A = this chain, B = another copy of it.
């Protein structure tokens, strides 16, 4: 169960630069390609002629040409032409609204007439010279909500990511979860602690000493349908922590766009936006590689947790204080799902 009348990150423009991309999103097989004027188009990946996947075709002058018998598909899902055929009566295929924003292609899997570009969330760190961004994509076999749980409860860092960002003080510091409409926040502040290896690297990247006590923060923000932005960072202790001036801290936002593929698999777009040394491309790459390794440590856990839950579908799980972020995020999703389905079926 996932929201469909909403924007999901589908791919990056570079993924469709030279040829179409077939990708399933919210259980729908879609083809993405660069249509007329370079705008990325998303259609059902199903040729109305004989059911061939259009993603095996090619793009010619902004039209998607089926690689089987040459049907030319327009960006509205209506056939434009086919050699030797009158195509006016051909059935249309679904065209999914898309918008290119922040270096991603976003798609609206639900009712097209409800798509509204203004509903793409606003992020201050994209397209902003004060920030740098790097990230990647993992394909994971788990329900998208297990990933939300994961990101809204960072006590797992102590165990899953023990050698990079984990430290016992995360477990020892209580977190506070707040709900404001559809926005769920879980915050944790740690004072006068040692920086773990990843943050030592980040401090050095910002020309700061890495062997002095620091204040550390983690502020997880969930917004629907499945975006989790995590403000993270360390400041030299006593400089104001989260509010310390930029030259006393390393401040970043972990960016997580979780796009359901099926009920038990996701496209997980992860990344990090940082507000220090934004011009330092080598630092961007170094952080991207570090984060990629760290986030790969979650894959086995999530996939085997999913298998366990499928094998025990009726077993109740615990909802502890540390789980409040995930629990509240799921409540927001359930409320919106009920609204969406009521609006559709009511």
- Which chain A residues have a beta carbon within 8 Å of chain B's beta carbons? 29, 45-46, 48-53, 56-57, 65-70, 82-85, 90-91, 149, 153, 155-156, 158-160, 168, 171-172, 174, 300-301, 304-305, 307-309, 311-312, 315-318, 320-323
On chain B, the residues within 8 Å of A83 by CB distance are 155, 158, 168, 171-172
23 of the cross-chain contacts (CB-CB < 8 Å) are A48-B317, A50-B149, A50-B323, A51-B312, A51-B315, A52-B304, A52-B308, A53-B305, A53-B307, A53-B308, A56-B300, A65-B159, A66-B159, A67-B160, A68-B156, A68-B301, A69-B155, A69-B322, A70-B159, A84-B322, A85-B321, A85-B322, A91-B316
- Complex Cα distance A312/B311, Å? 27
Which of B45, B65, B153 contacts A69, CB < 8 Å?
A: B153
Quote the shortest CB–CB distance from A315 to chain B (angstroms). Answer: 7
On chain B, the residues within 8 Å of A174 by CB distance are 84
User: Across the interface, do B172 and A84 meet the contact criterion of CB distance under 8 Å?
Assistant: yes
User: Across the interface, do B320 and A67 meet the contact criterion of CB distance under 8 Å?
Assistant: no
Closest 7 CB pairs of A and B: A83-B171, A53-B304, A51-B308, A52-B305, A51-B309, A49-B318, A70-B159
User: Across the interface, do B85 and A320 meet the contact criterion of CB distance under 8 Å?
Assistant: yes
Given A50-B323, A53-B307, A82-B320, 11 more A-B residue pairs with CB atoms under 8 Å apart are A29-B308, A48-B317, A50-B305, A52-B301, A53-B308, A65-B159, A67-B160, A70-B158, A83-B155, A83-B158, A84-B172
- Complex Cα distance A239/B247, Å? 85
- Complex Cα distance A318/B52, Å? 12
Quote the shortest CB–CB distance from A211 to chain B (angstroms). Answer: 26
- Complex Cα distance A174/B85, Å? 10
**Also in contact, A50 and B159, with CB within 8 A (given A69-B153, A84-B172, A305-B68):** no
On chain B, the residues within 8 Å of A50 by CB distance are 149, 305, 317-318, 323
On chain B, the residues within 8 Å of A85 by CB distance are 320-322
- Complex Cα distance A301/B22, Å? 13
- Complex Cα distance A46/B56, Å? 41
Which residue of chain B has its CB nearest to the CB of A306? Answer: B51
Quote the shortest CB–CB distance from A297 to chain B (angstroms). Answer: 10
User: Across the interface, do A45 and B318 meet the contact criterion of CB distance under 8 Å?
Assistant: no
User: Across the interface, do B52 and A90 meet the contact criterion of CB distance under 8 Å?
Assistant: no
**Also in contact, A317 and B84, with CB within 8 A (given A171-B70, A301-B56):** no
Which of B49, B53, B56, B305 contacts A317, CB < 8 Å?
A: B49
- Complex Cα distance A91/B54, Å? 51
- Complex Cα distance A311/B67, Å? 20
On chain B, the residues within 8 Å of A49 by CB distance are 317-318, 320
